[in-house]
Every structure is written in C-alpha cells, then in structure tokens.
Amino acid sequence: MDSRHLIALVIAGLCIACSHSGQTNTNSTVTRSSSPESTKAAENKSTLAGLIKNVSLYPVPGRSNDLAISLVVLVHNSGAPDHPDHWTLEVISPTAGIPTGLEPVHVNGVVELPGSNKSVDLAKEDLTVKGVNPIGRDSEVEGVLTFVLPGIEERALNHNSSSLVLHFRDSQGNNYQTPKTYIGKKVGG
C-alpha cells in the first residue's frame, strides 16, 4: 500500500468518524445546524496529515558519538491552505537515556537514501524551509528533517522495538502527529 492510499484511508476514516457526530432526537434522526460563520470557519481550517516515509540513522560526520536521524516526511493538506511548523521528534525506545522532544537541525550535503537509488540534497529538501510556503487544499509537500541525538550510537536504536513519532502544528496552533514508525521496519511497498 503506497502512502497516498494510506493517507486516503486515514482521511476517509476521519470523515466517517466526523459524519457520525451530531445531535440525535427521539426519532433517531440526525439534526445539524449550519450557520454562515461555522461554514466559513470550516472552510478556513487546515487539515494536515503527516507520514514518515523513510528513516536514515548515521553517525554525525566528525562526531561519531552523536547519532543523526534523517526522516523523509510527507505532509498532506485536505483543508484550507496552511503550513506545518514546530517540528519535534519523539523517540520511543527501551534503551535508557535516549533523548526525546528533539527539534530539527539544518544540514547541508547530498546523501543517498538507504534502500533506494535516490540521492537527496538535504539543504534543498529541508522541510523546515520547504514547509514555510502554505500547502494548498488537496496538496502535499515532501521533504527531509534531520535530528541529532547527542551521545547516542546507532546500535542503541537500530532494532524493531524502537520507534519514532513526529509532532507538528499548523499556523492556527492545531497539533498533529505522524503514525508511529518502527526503526528497522520497511515503510510502504
């Protein structure tokens, strides 16, 4: 299942969940009232969804005791134009001392993504830079975010019981997060 199908399923699930809300009267009919203000507010609301497509772990060049985690991330917007911001990485690991709540760092250099023949210029693909421009309705942006875990070596995380969740916000302060991604597990097909 590719990422577009996964995002479509998530959005469809959210739409179904939202369609089941409302007030029910004694005749079991759903009643809804829609004022021009609530309709306009809904039109002005962004609906972002993020997905971690690829995870790369590698020692920071010149600092072999620090671990870099580069993520290829896709953000889709099915609402009003908006941009993702305030990125933080949650690292979930049974290994003690793993930092969490990390903020991205800007990295220069061209790297090859593991498991692909694709090279990525980290400076040009930096999602903190690409994501500054609003993502239009039914559009998406893909980019790279890099995080540094000081004093952590790759072997501390490189097993299937460690996972990552990326948290972010839109310009209105709404919080979002990606589905949990396990390190060492192939994402997508």
Cα separation, 166 vs 164, whole angstroms:
7
Cα separation, 20 vs 26, whole angstroms:
16
Q: How many domains does the chain have?
A: 1
Is the pLDDT at 19 greater than 60, yes or no?
A: no
pLDDT at residue 3 in the model = 38
**Do the domain assignments include residue 17?**
no
**Do the domain assignments include residue 27?**
no
User: Is the backbone of residue 92 left (phi > 0), alpha (psi -120 to 50) or beta?
Assistant: beta
**Do the domain assignments include residue 21?**
no
Across the range 45-50, mean pLDDT stands at 92
Beta-bridge partner residues of 52 = 73
* Structural domain boundaries enclosing 117: 48-182
**Do the domain assignments include residue 133?**
yes
State pLDDT tens for residues 149-178: 999 988 888 876 899 999 999 999 999 999
**Do the domain assignments include residue 3?**
no
Is the pLDDT at 52 greater than 90, yes or no?
A: yes
Q: What percent of the chain has pLDDT over 70?
A: 71
Cα separation, 189 vs 183, whole angstroms:
16
**Do the domain assignments include residue 95?**
yes
What CATH number should be reported for the domain holding residue 156? Answer: 2.60.40
Is the pLDDT at 6 greater than 50, yes or no?
A: no
Q: Which residues of 30-64 are buried (b: 16+ CB within 10 A; e: fewer)?
A: eeeeeeeeeeeeeeeebbbbbbbbbbbbeebeeee
**Do the domain assignments include residue 153?**
yes
Across the range 19-45, mean pLDDT stands at 46
Choose between 50 and 33: higher pLDDT: 50
State pLDDT tens for residues 61-87: 889 899 999 899 999 999 999 999 999
**Do the domain assignments include residue 23?**
no
How far from 14 is each of 6, 9, 173, CA to CA, in Å?
12, 9, 19
Q: In this predicted structure, which of 14-18, 129-133, 161-165, 181-185 has the lowest mean pLDDT? A: 14-18
Q: Is the dihedral of CA 73, 79, 84, 88 positive or negative?
A: negative
